[in-house]
Structure 1
Amino acid sequence: MIEKNTQKNFQFQFYKIQKLVYQTRFLSNQIGDAGASGLGSALAKCINLSNLTLDLYFNQIGDEGASGLGSALAKCINLSNLTLDLCENQIGAMGASGLGSALAKCINLSNLTLYLYYNQIGAMGASGLGSALAKCINLSNLKLDLGYNQIGAMGASGLGSALAKCINLSNLTLDLGQKQSNQIGASGFFSALAKRINLSKQTLDLQFNQIGDEGASGLGSALAKRINLSKQTLDLYYNQIGAMGASGLGSALAKCINLSNLTLDLRSNQIGDEAASGLGSALAKCINLSNLTLYLEQKQFICFEL
């Protein structure tokens, strides 16, 4: 009798886990395509799963495994919150696109965090992933890390254009940082971002991307169209931005009338004294700005509480 009751209690506890939250970590375990697909197939049987955190960092998962994992998770019809860490695997363009297409079938997905840095996704994979995620009709919060994937100008532009179609997206965190300098394409990417006027919170990591003055000004112009933007974090470390770019960026940010929180990292650029002063004068025109963190040098930062 005691054994039977214990078994029932275990089954009940497992049911509660299915219904609420499932968190598991398999980092650095030599898991390949077969293991990732098998894990996904098992999780797909948790029909009441609504919250899932899955850490598969630093394994040996390729295109087949990423697509298989995604296809399995698509069967979790009640999934609304998903955090998936696939950093430092061997996922290419096909795997990224396949994963995105599968996740688009999670019709209740509203919060998605997807870590994919240090894979081999490239331009085609970034565009394909973006196009797939644009079909997540209920997605409101997205954190996407594609750093160190060499997506280039074409990939960044395609990704930006696709994400602009996420009609309910209000909070976006996007990491496109590169270990080596890699031009993401100033005009296409930033023009696409300008179309997401409903965003209220945004984080952009564009370090080591050589956007230059033109890119900085273009980025500013895109942000100025965000009438609902209240919180913005911009990492523009080492981007060959000079006086003109910094001034243009500052002047544009001053037009974000609802901006209250701003973090701006401009370290290791070529701004100079005059442009730094101009940037400060421009930011002073942000009438609702209450919290400003401004990085202008390698090892120093200035934090203002306005």
Structure 2
Amino acid sequence: YNKIGDEGASGLGSALANCINLSNLTLYLSYNKIGDEGASGLGSGLANCINLSNLTLQLSGNQIGKEGASGLGSALANCINLSNLTLGLSNNKIGDEGASGLGSGLANCINLSNLTLYLTYNKIGDEGASGLGSALANCINLSNLTLGLSENQIGDEGASGLGSGLANCINLSNLTLQLYYSKIGDEGASGLCSALANCINLSNLTLDLRSQKINDEDLQNLSDILKNCNNLSKLNLVLRSNEFGSLGVSSLGPALANCHNLQSLNIDFYYNLIDAQCVSNLISNLEKCIHLNKLELWVDCKVDEQSPQNIYSSLANCRNLSSITLYLEENNIGDQQISNLGFTLTNCSQLKKFKIYLYNNKIGPQGISNLGFALKMCPYLSSLTLNLNNNQIGDKGISDLSSCLISFPNLSQLVLSLNENQIGDQGVQSLCFAFANCKNLYYLHFGFARNLIGAHEVVQYLGSGLCKNIRLQTLILSLFNNLDDAQKNKLSYKIQKMKRLVKKELCL
């Protein structure tokens, strides 16, 4: 952010040309109005640094086009000893020619073992993606690869070309591929899947293919590949806003059941056409993943009275989970369903971290009370996130939840969002009493807008409760309860007196 421009970047390049013995170099030059001339000048200098083994070059948010990117590629072609390369060029305008030029240089870096390449939002199409794929085909020693190519114009041909290159990288153990907001359909998805079939040593895989045209058949093809990834320990699969349904998802569960070493799983199926029974079947297969300890699930299937029970019953069999994150917003979930979830959690005796997002459901006092009492059965729980915005919890529900919070002996981090829940004086009093008596709590993020309590009471109860917590170090408050300036100042003054507090964010 220093407005270095072309002249400054070229000057740096001239200086670097003399540093022929450099082995490690990190340059952060993002958002500095550097164009083609500056990038090419920088590249000319780097071309002399033939002994570089570790290079980090951040040039995002500049004005670099095809000539500048090609100049950097020519420089990289000389750096044949590179083993670790991070190149950030997002939000420029390098296009197909620039991406291909960059790829031509990378093709010479045959000793690369770690490559991170961010080219988001660069008007790269099929030709540029294929050029990068051709380069990757030469990098057969890669073990860690991150490709950020989102928000470009890559279609089936480009995705297939990229896949052809990846197919040569048989030593990959960690792969992150970000292609969201592209134009990939059947053919492109198939090409990427074929590439993954060769990467049999993968242990960590992230695929972000949101907002494409991936259908049931594509997801089935991906599932066929995953079932052979016997070494997979971490899978992050982001497929929201595609065109598949329950048929495609039904193939994923049995595939994951074959991944016996899986420890961490994140699946995002938001905005697809799947039903709750399909999700239940998926989760039921996870009980075969005996090492699974972390699960994050994003689904927006509209449920009936029975279907959530099926989902939660399946979850109960994953007994080794220590971290669970569930995104179940706008799913018609009521008291009975959330109570069933609570009953399920009593089986997760190893649970340490629990996050659930239940915005805009139909949860009342009984449901949240039962969930709270169930969580008391998780003796190791240390981190809890409850997003309950826009439900009908009321004073009774929040009072019962508050009494449970005090009973968590290891609770150290709490994120609690209770906007629009018809909570009045009694509920807030009990909640603030809980804040004061959670003896190990050092992180609190509390949202409490648009409830049934006046501004004066918020200041009185909240200020008093928070000040009594002697361990709190981080406090984030989002209140928006029509406090006037005097009330804001009074609450802020009380918070300022909290001696151990090292970070605070107050939206009053």
| More moved, 204-213 vs 183-192 | 183-192
In the TM superposition, residue 156 of structure 1 has moved relative to its aligned partner by 0.7
Equivalent residues in 2 for 1:155-174 (5 A)? 155-174=128-147
- CA separation in 2, counterparts of 1:113 and 1:67? 18
> How far off its partner does 1:108 sit?
2.8
Written as runs of structure 1 = structure 2, the 5 A alignment for 1:1-306 is: 28-178=1-151, 182-183=154-155, 185=157, 186-297=159-270, 301-302=296-297
Contact 2:160 2:189 in 1 (8 A): no
**Relative to 1, partners in 2 of residues 1:123 and 1:228: Cα closer, same or farther, differing over 3 Å?**
same
Whether contact under 8 Å (2:205, 2:236) holds in the other structure is yes
Residues 41-50 or 194-203, more deviating: 41-50
Question: In the aligned structure 2, how far is the partner of 1:91 from the partner of 1:182?
Answer: 20
CA contact (8 A) 2:125 2:153 kept: no
Residues 63-100 of structure 1 deviation map (CA, whole Å, 9 limit, x = unaligned):
22111112212333442211111111111112111111
3-state DSSP of counterpart to 1:214: helix
Shift of 1:259: 2.0
Matched residue SS, 2:251: helix
The answer to whether the Cα contact below 8 Å between 2:129 and 2:154 also exists between their aligned partners in 1 is no
CA deviation string 1:84-121 (max 9, x = no partner): 11111111112111111112222332111000011111
SS of 1:114's partner is strand
Partner-residue secondary structure (3-state), 1:104: helix
Q: CA deviation at 1:195?
A: 2.0
Name which of structure 1's ranges 285-294 and 150-159 shifts more when overlaid on structure 2.
285-294
Separation in 2, partners of 1:48, 1:34 = 24
Query: What's the % identity of the aligned pairs?
Result: 64
User: Residue by residue, what CA displacement relative to the aligned partner does 1:263-299 show, whole Å, maximum 9, x if unpaired?
Assistant: 110111122223222222222222332322111116x
Provide TM-score, normalisation by structure 1.
0.83
State the distance in 2 between where 1:188 and 1:48 align: 36
* Count of matched residue pairs: 278
Question: Runs of 4 or more off by more than 6 Å in structure 1?
Answer: 303-306
Read off the aligned partner of 2:114 and give its amino acid letter: N
Q: CA deviation at 1:184?
A: 5.6
- Aligned partner letter, 1:125: G
> Which one-letter code corresponds to 1:83 in the other structure?
T
- How far the C-alpha of 1:181 sits from its partner, in A, is 5.8
TM normalised by structure 2 equals: 0.51
**One-letter amino acid of the structure 1 residue matched with residue 118 of structure 2:** D
Whole-angstrom CA distance in 2 between matches of 1:245 and 1:71: 44
Which has the higher mean CA deviation after the structures are superposed, 287-296 or 33-42? Answer: 287-296
* Cα shift readout 1:186-226 (whole Å, capped 9, x = no counterpart): 33222222122122211100101121233223322210111
| SS of residue paired to 1:126 | helix
Contact 1:100–1:133, Cα closer than 8 Å, also in 2: yes
**Deviation for aligned residue 1:153:** 0.9
User: Partner of 1:162: helix, strand, or coil?
Assistant: helix
Q: Evaluate the alpha carbon distance shift between residue 158 and residue 256 of structure 1 in structure 2; reply closer, same or farther with a 3 A threshold.
A: same
Query: In 2 relative to 1, CA 249–165 (structure 1 residues): closer, same or farther, beyond 3 Å?
Result: same
Distance 1:182 1:133 in 2: 20
Between the aligned partners of 1:216 and 1:158, the Cα distance in structure 2 is: 18
1:45 offset after TM fit, Å?
3.8
- The Cα of 1:36 is off from its aligned counterpart by 0.1
Q: CA deviation at 1:56?
A: 0.9
Do 1:57 and 1:87's aligned partners in 2 also have CA atoms closer than 8 Å? Answer: yes
In 2: Cα distance, 1:156 partner to 1:184 partner? 10
Gaps of 5+ in 1: 1-27
Larger radius of gyration: 2
